[in-house]
């Protein structure tokens, strides 16, 4: 099986960290500064049974200027071309920026996974349930997968679920 996967989410939710972790080497620029990733970065993960190309998109955020609008267009066009979209949110900090992206996702037909990142920051994993409910009410996600990109938690499951959609 082979296919293409795009990562989207607000700046700083952990897209580059997840990508680097899946690929096993640093391929995207990581920073605490929002929007370090200006371009789509293609990286390939090859396993015995699967080859998956990941695209790290510039954050789809509400544009403040012309360059911002262009970046949103680039990100959205990428989402139409891929097999799976990974929409990343932060377990401890969901916010209005997520809503903006969810509304953009309504424009595409590609299956969207909700990837709830940074679960290592949760005091109690039970906090996930109301969060999942909240997101479920807003959008029909193909899958919902809590992960920690930093600690590598649940990434194998995420990868296997992605492969099952290819
Ligand atoms: P991007 O803007 O979405 O690409 O986000 P980055 O990958 O650059 O990550 C932004 C910040 O969040 C960095 O300081 C990362 O180390 C941190 N981060 C990413 N994933 C996790 C995670 O699973 N847990 C924690 N605690 N921090 C994370
Ligand atoms: Mg990034």
How close is the Cα of 165 to the center of ligand 1, in Å? 26
User: What's the pTM?
Assistant: 0.88
CB contact at 8 A, 8 and 89: no
In this structure, which residue's CA is closest to atom 9 in ligand 1? 14
Specify the pLDDT at position 71.
67
Specify the pLDDT at position 118.
98
Q: How far apart are CA 106 and CA 139, in angstroms?
A: 8
Structure confidence at residue 67 as a pLDDT band (50, 70, 90): low
Specify the pLDDT at position 104.
87
User: What total of structural domains would you count in the chain?
Assistant: 1
Give the domain CATH number at 53: 3.40.50.300
Ligand 1 atom closest to Cα of residue 37: 4
Q: How far apart are CA 150 and CA 147, in angstroms?
A: 9
Specify the pLDDT at position 58.
61
- pLDDT (tens digit, 9 = 90+) per residue, 72-91? 777 778 788 899 999 999 99
* 133 CB neighbour count, 10 Å cutoff: 9
- The residue segments making up the domain with residue 146 are 2-164
Q: How far apart are CA 71 and CA 74, in angstroms?
A: 5
Answer whether residue 38 shows pLDDT above 50. Answer: no
How close is the Cα of 142 to the center of ligand 1, in Å? 24
Ligand 1 atom closest to Cα of residue 30: 8
Specify the pLDDT at position 32.
52
* 126 CB neighbour count, 10 Å cutoff: 8
* 137 CB neighbour count, 10 Å cutoff: 7
Query: Which span out of 1-10, 23-32, 93-102, 114-123 was modeled with the highest average pLDDT?
Result: 114-123
Give ligand 1 pocket residues (Cβ under 6 A): 9, 11-17, 30-32, 37, 117-118, 120-121, 148-150
Query: Which ligand approaches the C-alpha of residue 39 most closely?
Result: 2
């Amino acid at each position: 099986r082979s296919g293409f996967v795009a990562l989207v989410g607000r700046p700083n939710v952990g897209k580059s960290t997840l990508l680097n972790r899946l690929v096993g080497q640093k391929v995207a620029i990581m920073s605490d500064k929002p929007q370090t990733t200006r371009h789509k970065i293609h990286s390939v993960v090859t396993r015995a049974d699967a080859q998956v190309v990941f695209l790290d998109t510039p954050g789809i955020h509400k544009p403040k200027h012309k360059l911002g609008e262009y970046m949103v267009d680039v990100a959205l066009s990428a989402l139409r071309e891929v097999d799976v979209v990974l929409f990343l949110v932060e377990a401890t900090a969901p916010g209005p920026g997520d809503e903006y992206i969810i509304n953009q996702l309504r424009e595409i037909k590609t299956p969207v996974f909700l990837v709830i990142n940074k679960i290592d920051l949760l005091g109690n994993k039970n906090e996930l349930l109301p969060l999942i409910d909240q997101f479920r009410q807003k959008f029909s996600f193909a899958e919902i997968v809590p992960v920690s990109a930093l600690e590598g938690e649940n990434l194998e499951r995420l990868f296997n679920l992605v492969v099952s959609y290819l």
